[in-house]
Amino acid sequence: MKLDLSKAVWRKSSFSGANNNCVEVAGNLPHGVAVRDSKNPGGSALVFTRGAWDAFTDGVRDGLFDLR
C-alpha cells in the first residue's frame, strides 16, 4: 500500500551536519510519522505509527541506543 505523502512537511534535525548525511521527518501526517533520506527526497519513505515513533524517540532520549 502506498501512502499519500504529498502534504508531508519535512524537517531535518538541527544536529544534522553540512555533509547531507541526514534523514528528514514528517510528523504532520494523520496516519503516523514518515522518515526519508534527505539525499533522495523523491525516493521511498518509512512510515511509523505515532505510538511506535514515540516509543523510539523516548528510547533515544533515555539513552537506550547509546553505544557503550
Residue pLDDT, tens place only, 56-66: 999 999 999 99
DSSP states along 12-30: E-TT--TT---EEEEEEET
Under DSSP, the state recorded for 31 is T
**Cβ 8 vs Cβ 28: under 8 Å:** yes
- With a CB cutoff of 8 Å and minimum separation 6, the contacts of 32 are 47, 48, 49, 50, 52, 53
Each residue's pLDDT tens digit, 2-32: 678 999 999 987 777 666 678 899 999 988 9
Assign 32 to helix, strand or coil.
strand
**Cβ 2 vs Cβ 14: under 8 Å:** no
